[in-house]
Amino acid sequence: MKRRARIFDPAETGELAESAGCFAVTPRGKGPRNLNAIVASLILFLTVILSVSAGVFMAYWTMNALLMALGDQRQEPAPVLVEHHASGD
């Protein structure tokens, strides 16, 4: 009778946690197996959102600085609104 070769499953033994370094695999029945995937996708999502928003704000402030530096250099005083009060009424 032939013996079948047993398929190696690192999740059963936890050996992947030792060999991979930063990726830990919990043995079956000892916790959520998808926790690493959820944490990794959350970190990736937050990194993308923060990077895009930082880029947008930097572009906004850069354009503001360029417009202030290279804009029209004339400094005209702003018009002043004067209220007139009728006296004697």
Greatest Cα pair distance, the chain, in angstroms, is 121
Instruction: Enter the DSSP assignment of 5.
Output: P
First to last CA, the chain: 119
Residue 50's pLDDT is 97
Q: Mind listing the pLDDT tens digit for each residue in 8-32?
A: 555 555 555 545 555 555 555 555 6
Q: Mind listing the pLDDT tens digit for each residue in 47-63?
A: 999 999 999 999 999 99
Q: Burial letters for 59-83: b for 16+ Cβ neighbours within 10 Å, e otherwise?
A: eeeeeeeeeeeeeeeeeeeeeeeee
d(CA 89, CA 82): 19
Residue boundaries of the structural domains of the chain: 10-63
